[in-house]
Structure 1
Amino acid sequence: MTAQAKAKWLRFLVLVLGGGTIYKLANLKDAFYVPMQEYMGLTHTEIGTLLSANAIIATALFVVGGFLADRFDTRKLIPLGLIGTGALGLYLATFPGYSQLLIVFSLFAICADCIYWPALLKAIRNLGDDNEQGRMFGFLEGGRGVVDTLVAFSALGVFVAMGSGEAGLKSAILFYSAIDIGAGLLTLFLLKETKKGAASTETIGLAGLLEAVRVPGIWLVSLNVFMVYIVYCGLTYFIPYLKDMYHLPVALVGAYGIINQYFLKVLGGPAGGFMADKALKSPSRYLKWAFLALLPLMAVILTIPKGESFIFAGMAATLSFALIIFTMRGVFWAPMSEVGIPSRITGSAFGIGCLIGYAPGMFAYVIYGAILDHFPGEQGYTYVFSLMSVLAVIGFMVSSLLHRAVQKRADSLPGEAVPQA
């Protein structure tokens, strides 16, 4: 491996470190959904509202974040987002009231989604050429999964060690905060010595945003991300589903949540990148068929008998569904290259893409949570999971349109070809 390649992968690993830590606090529900209800006094709807408040601010500011990523040095924006998130976590550990929680979760969005995320996506995009985009983003998702899993299981260990009660939840939050601050400082130090490339030194600003808006393909990519993400939001409810329908113990609920939301990234991200780049030769083509593969798995989830004797079948089916979602999340930004987004306006393009693509976070959790609160028990879960299936069908149609647009572009460019099916 050449010195240039080593430097490239070192930068990649540093970026993965931050990417795997910054969302732990805003997504505290992944491993601690039930403790949040018990010790912070939150209902399904209130947790959903906190997540929606976070997503509303994030969505409103994604384009601003893309502008910042093109306008300022990403090596400064990335550590700033991490350290700011960790500082907010220190306050979250005091268990403030619900009104204060709404403010905290909104500020999480500013640090993570506006300042940090578009800058990270731009940095990753600029690390690889057009033929590596599926793998680069797949390895990003997989690498984040490794960090996610290690950090989340460590936090769960802290929670158990402190008695699995209120003190345990506060200690876990403080642990996440310390990790964020530490990762921010480490990232600031390690990225300080890297050389700026041409892509990072060129200041684009508002002109880049206007140029990105005029690229037709970006809207299909963004809508495709929207459909993947709205189904992804439903994965959260596999956690209380197993507890309510299969009587999974609280400690194991936390472990399942970590596997469901984090560890599957380790497998799904690289697997999606490999299948998109090597097997199907097109990220958009892979996404189309992955949406279709979700439907029989959801049918299995809905028909498995409920009760403790079927707990492992329930876990296997829900984890299989989640794994496909994570293969899709690993590559859903890769079509940015397929539709011809110039690297110089990557930050602006991702800002627009995030604005649309992550929009489900504003309302999906509230809708899913409200359904469960209004229809307690198996009926509510049946409604939520059936809705996810309908959305997967719509996602298949959107991805089909995206792949067709990629084919048309490839046909107009000499020497390029995209698989037709």
Structure 2
Amino acid sequence: MSNFLKQYGFTPASLFQLALITVNAQLIYAFWDIRNSVPGGFPAALGVTDQQAGYLYSMQGLVIILGTIAVGWVGDRFSIRNIMLLSTIGVGGISLFLTLASPGLSMPVLLACFFSMLFFSEVLFKPANFKALRISTTEKHQGTVFGLFEFGRGLLAFLISLLWTVMLYFKAGPKEMMMTSCIIVIITGIAVFFIVPKDQKVGDEETQVHTTKEAIIGVGRVTKLPVIWIAGINVFCIYGAFVAAGTYFARFLQSGYGTSAVAAAVFAIVVIALRMLPLVSSVLVEKIFDSTSHFMRTMQIILVFLLVAISIIFFANHPDISLYANGYTPDQAPANLISSGMFLTLIILMLLAAACIFMIRGVYYAPIGEFGVDKKHSSAAMSFAITIGYIPALLAPIVLGGLVKSPDKDTAGQIIKSYLTDTHILGYAFLGLAVLVLISVFMSHSLIKLKEKQAGYSDK
């Protein structure tokens, strides 16, 4: 263990903090992540359409845009224990209310609940979370720490999604899953209270600002750094694809070719399992590539070709949805809308695309640490990059959710009839994602050139 700590720049305390941050950073999303495993049933249980669900999901982007920069100083000022505890209890309480009161809540109430729930997880917790990661090791090993973090989150997400799939198999409904998730979140909050030391800070005296004024000044300073803008735009382009992979790939299979809820859940759990791949990213960044930016550029180029290939399949395999204009019941899903060989190819390509996305996502904030941003203002730097990068969290769910024809449901939120979506529409969606990722290729290339320029100045 001592060799591992020395090799990757950790101390026992920073490694323990990394483990705590990782567990809390994933389990706080137990309720929110149900949308990925039950892409059709979760909106139905809330009593909304797919498009309305897109507006609910977009609250993630809205709270980040409105709040993350404004309170980016939280992570530079306050105890990580207090931030984790407040965030987790806040998310757990709101999730519990949504579970008990849905369906039947008005859209304004639902929007307010999702906004508040995501405020606790995104605005309060995430900047402090990323700062803790950034300062837990040296500049040289930023790719490693972010990769380990995303691997741990992916492992926990896989285990939780496996629980949802087992519950679906045994005919449990989305409401039962929602209640289970609330229990998980609340227990996590209780664990934070008892496990995390009261005086545990995000960093030490050298990485901590001591006044609110100093923290706010730090926000102004980081906005002048080119690396923050380029990294933020890079995240922007990839996060749009991440939203699609995590939430809508399975939904597109359902709406395009009539895939059953259980089959979609199985596909979703494989996608979620791929979130453990940032561990591979860490190894590749350390052993193969010159930097995180070199790694991202290569993976982004591969991802462009995969997304284009997926769009071609959707264009070329276009079933006549007019034959199912009246919809179909869950136990009578249409068959043979696409050949089994082509459907398998589509699934493989979508899983490969998801793998690339998650490997990039695992390290796309690492360049901020690699460029030597002042540790005291790491939370502010992460906050600004998050605000730019997570704009697709506001836009993508609205756009992608609006493409899908929503099912009919009963008063209890159970689906009684589903409808197909024109696969040409889905094909254009993947082409749009390919264009976004192509832009990210140029952003990663710009980071490489900027680092070379910085190294040139340091040599002089």
TM beyond 0.5: yes
CA offsets 1:215-265 (integer angstroms, 9 cap, x no match):
2221111111111112222223211222234443211212222332x2111
The residue aligned with 1:367 is 399
Measured at CA, do residues 48 and 81 of structure 1 come closer, stay the same or move farther in structure 2, by a change above 3 Å? Answer: same
Please identify, of 277-286 and 381-390, the stretch whose mean Cα deviation from structure 2 is larger: 277-286
State whether structure 2 residue 106 is matched by structure 1 residue 97.
Answer: yes
- Measured after TM superposition, the shift of residue 278 of structure 1 is 2.3
State whether structure 2 residue 85 is matched by structure 1 residue 79.
Answer: yes
Please identify, of 352-361 and 200-209, the stretch whose mean Cα deviation from structure 2 is larger: 200-209
User: How far apart in 1 are the matches of 2:259 and 2:138?
Assistant: 45
CA offsets 1:339-369 (integer angstroms, 9 cap, x no match):
3311111011111111111111111221222
Of the three residues 357, 366, 371, the one matched with 1:325 is 357
The residue aligned with 1:118 is 127
Gaps of 5+ in 2: 318-336, 407-419
Aligned length: 409
Measured at CA, do residues 120 and 281 of structure 1 come closer, stay the same or move farther in structure 2, by a change above 3 Å? Answer: same
Q: Which runs of 4+ in 1 moved over 4 A?
A: 193-196
Code of the residue aligned with 1:13 in structure 2: it is: A
Query: Please, what is the CA RMSD of the aligned residues?
Result: 2.2
User: How far apart in 2 are the matches of 1:41 and 1:377?
Assistant: 24
Q: Please tell me whether the aligned partners of residues 20 and 144 of structure 1 are also in contact (alpha carbons under 8 angstroms).
A: yes
Larger radius of gyration: 2
- Measured after TM superposition, the shift of residue 317 of structure 1 is 1.2
**What SS does the corresponding residue of 1:413 show, helix, strand or coil?**
helix
User: How far apart in 2 are the matches of 1:88 and 1:259?
Assistant: 29
Measured at CA, do residues 55 and 30 of structure 1 come closer, stay the same or move farther in structure 2, by a change above 3 Å? Answer: same
**What SS does the corresponding residue of 2:72 show, helix, strand or coil?**
helix
**What SS does the corresponding residue of 1:363 show, helix, strand or coil?**
helix
The residue aligned with 2:72 is 66
State whether structure 2 residue 205 is matched by structure 1 residue 198.
Answer: yes
**What SS does the corresponding residue of 1:64 show, helix, strand or coil?**
coil
Gaps of 5+ in 1: 416-421
The residue aligned with 2:48 is 42
CA offsets 1:351-404 (integer angstroms, 9 cap, x no match):
111111111111122122224459932111111011111111111122212221
Measured at CA, do residues 137 and 65 of structure 1 come closer, stay the same or move farther in structure 2, by a change above 3 Å? Answer: farther
Code of the residue aligned with 1:206 in structure 2: it is: I
The residue aligned with 1:395 is 440
Percent of residue pairs identical: 23
User: How far apart in 1 are the matches of 2:209 and 2:391?
Assistant: 29
Measured at CA, do residues 159 and 402 of structure 1 come closer, stay the same or move farther in structure 2, by a change above 3 Å? Answer: same
Of the three residues 262, 266, 275, the one matched with 1:265 is 275
User: How far apart in 2 are the matches of 1:320 and 1:5?
Assistant: 35
Q: TM-score, normalised by structure 1?
A: 0.91
Of the three residues 224, 227, 231, the one matched with 1:221 is 231
The residue aligned with 2:348 is 316
**What SS does the corresponding residue of 2:70 show, helix, strand or coil?**
helix
User: How far apart in 1 are the matches of 2:206 and 2:196?
Assistant: 16
Q: Please tell me whether the aligned partners of residues 140 and 370 of structure 2 are also in contact (alpha carbons under 8 angstroms).
A: no
Q: Please tell me whether the aligned partners of residues 76 and 208 of structure 2 are also in contact (alpha carbons under 8 angstroms).
A: no
The residue aligned with 1:56 is 62
Alignment of 1:158-169 (within 5 A): 158-161=167-170, 163-164=171-172, 168-169=173-174
CA offsets 1:251-294 (integer angstroms, 9 cap, x no match):
1212222332x211112x11222222321121112112211111
Alignment of 1:269-418 (within 5 A): 269-304=278-313, 305=317, 307=338, 309-310=340-341, 311-373=343-405, 376-414=421-459
CA offsets 1:50-104 (integer angstroms, 9 cap, x no match):
1112321222111134211112122211221112111111011121333221111
Q: Please tell me whether the aligned partners of residues 245 and 307 of structure 1 are also in contact (alpha carbons under 8 angstroms).
A: no
The residue aligned with 1:28 is 34
The residue aligned with 1:252 is 263
